[in-house]
Amino acid sequence: MPFKKMILLLAVSAVLGLQAQNPIVQTYYTADPAPMVHEGRVYVYTTHDEDETIDNFFTMHNWRAYSSADMVNWTDHGVVASLKNFAWSDKDNGAWAPQAIERNGKFYLYCPIHGDGVAVLVADSPTGPFHDPLGKRLIEDTPDIWHDIDPTVFIDDDGQAYLFWGNPKVFYVKLNEDMTSYDRSVGEKGIMALDMSVEAFGSQKDENGVLRSNYTEGPWVYKRKDLYYLVYAAAGIPEYIAYSTAPSIEGPWTYQGYIMERAPHLAFTNHPGIIDFKGNSYFFYHTHELSNGEGFKRSVSVEPFTYNEDGSIPLLKPTKAGVTESLSPLNPFQRVEAETMAWSERLKTTKSSKTGVYVSSINNGDYLMVRDVDFGDGAKRFLAGVASGAVGGSIELRLGALDGKLLGVCTVSNTGGWNTWEVQAAKISKAKEVHDLYFVFKGGEGDLFNFDWWTLE
């Protein structure tokens, strides 16, 4: 999108009071989104660009997960797997784009370790704990291990599972039902390669002016109605997103064109993930907006979209607004994890074995916002699970805006330690119906307290 047009869109959003939802995570840099729908929630597995980039290259040690039931409030599940899960690999960097899938009650996370190939982890829940069932990489006897990145996994209607991956070519295997081995009787010791023809992937000129496949990396494979889709980063660096379709998972693939072009706030890489959820279609990608243009510090964004009548995917704009409509209001009369949020500024999250993920690095003036909280007929009391090894501070509850109507103030006092949790409470004035709820943190210098959960009574 031309820069001027984007500025205009942002201005219109501001005037209309549209809440920015992109990027969907503000506490960490996240990239390479891999969404998965499970039991009424979308889980998004992401890579994690570290806050400190080493040697001006991707600095990525672990994989994170987030989930949402309404597509605007995202719950942080923290780091769900890391390079340390793979005892056989000595890599301390290279936790690149993964994808997860569920089969027979187990969750399989396909993880590329840049330079050490494609591996797999297994868990009993979508958020882990994940363990390495093989003790070695999954894809062996590979033609080019350095380019074994970006796995995408798909189970066809007949139960046959496939794993595709690769840069700048697409390879694939037929996974066995256990999802942790593959049929080695086909292809080259089990590995097959897609025809990287211009018909299948479009074309671009390389540095010598020679036409070559438009495909770059980041494949995302799925089926909708009778059509198979292969969506991918295209056109070299900087990356566009393009797609191809086929009548069967093994092709022949036909190039269909771009889904996302360039925009000033897109990074030099881009990476697609597409799902249908509660009757809507969503396109996940990443930008460098949060880091103000640092390509090794990216952030996951999402756009809702509608397929054209013929099944083609429209050209999508990378917006700041993202998903503007929540799919359902949030119920505050049950425990809400503090790390469930639509937007925050200057906060972090931490995971402890004692209490799971909680909001940390809370300083004076920081805030988090939860979209579409359903106050029903009203609430009288706010309760929070908090911990503080310092003097504490307070949580202001405000309606609709950072400086919106003050519902009440919860004083948070010292609990005896940063991981010593107490319930602290405050009376609040009655609010009814559905509002965005802002938690504004106030106090003195330095970290004030940690915030694990809240509820209304």
- 382 binding ligand FUB? (CB under 6 A): no
Structure tokens at 128: 């882990």
- 31 binding ligand FUB? (CB under 6 A): yes
Q: How far apart are CA 457 and CA 444, in angstroms?
A: 29
CB of 148 to ligand FUB, least distance (A): 10
Structure tokens at 124: 């009993």
Render 240-291 in DSSP notation, one character per residue: EEEEEEESSTT---EEEEEEE---TTS-S----EEEEETTEEEEEEEESTTT
Task: Rule CB under 6 A: choose which of 150, 289, 337, 339 binds ligand FUB.
Answer: 150
Task: Rule CB under 6 A: choose which of 271, 297, 435, 442 binds ligand FUB.
Answer: 271
Task: Rule CB under 6 A: choose which of 22, 26, 32, 180 binds ligand FUB.
Answer: 32
Structure tokens at 402: 């950072």
Site string for ligand FUB, 423-452 (x = CB under 6 A): ------------------------------
- 58 binding ligand FUB? (CB under 6 A): yes
At 336, is the secondary structure helix, strand, or coil? strand
Structure tokens at 121: 């982890």
Structure tokens at 427: 């009376």
CB of 53 to ligand FUB, least distance (A): 12
Exposed / middle / buried, residue 457 (Cβ in 10 Å: 0-12, 13-18, 19+): exposed
At 431, is the secondary structure helix, strand, or coil? coil
Structure tokens at 298: 């990216």
- 218 binding ligand FUB? (CB under 6 A): yes
Structure tokens at 399: 């309606």
CB of 267 to ligand FUB, least distance (A): 8
CB of 194 to ligand FUB, least distance (A): 17
Closer residue to ligand FUB in complex, CB, 232/453: 232
- 297 binding ligand FUB? (CB under 6 A): no
Task: Rule CB under 6 A: choose which of 21, 47, 213, 350 binds ligand FUB.
Answer: 47
CB of 286 to ligand FUB, least distance (A): 7
Closer residue to ligand FUB in complex, CB, 271/371: 271
- 173 binding ligand FUB? (CB under 6 A): no
CB of 340 to ligand FUB, least distance (A): 26
DSSP code for 314: P
| Residue 199 known to be catalytic | yes
- 148 binding ligand FUB? (CB under 6 A): no
Closer residue to ligand FUB in complex, CB, 42/97: 97
Task: Rule CB under 6 A: choose which of 116, 148, 217, 339 binds ligand FUB.
Answer: 217
Q: Where are the beta strands (DSSP E) in 268-416?
A: 273-277, 280-287, 299-305, 336-337, 340-341, 343-345, 348-352, 356-360, 367-374, 381-388, 393-399, 405-412
Beta-sheet pairing, 74-82 with 62-68: antiparallel
Task: Rule CB under 6 A: choose which of 149, 235, 313, 338 binds ligand FUB.
Answer: 149
Task: Rule CB under 6 A: choose which of 245, 269, 344, 349 binds ligand FUB.
Answer: 269
- Catalytic residue, chosen from 51, 141, 183, 199, is 199
Phi, psi of 13 (to 5 degrees): -60, -45
Q: Is the dihedral of CA 380, 384, 388, 392 positive or negative?
A: negative
Q: How far apart are CA 371 and CA 283, in angstroms?
A: 21
Q: How far apart are CA 217 and CA 270, in angstroms?
A: 9
- 288 binding ligand FUB? (CB under 6 A): no
- 253 binding ligand FUB? (CB under 6 A): no
Task: Rule CB under 6 A: choose which of 66, 74, 96, 282 binds ligand FUB.
Answer: 96
Phi, psi of 122 (to 5 degrees): -130, 145
CB of 160 to ligand FUB, least distance (A): 25
Active site amino acids: 32, 199
Contacts with ligand FUB by CB under 6 A lie at: 31-32, 47, 58, 96-97, 149-150, 217-218, 233, 269, 271
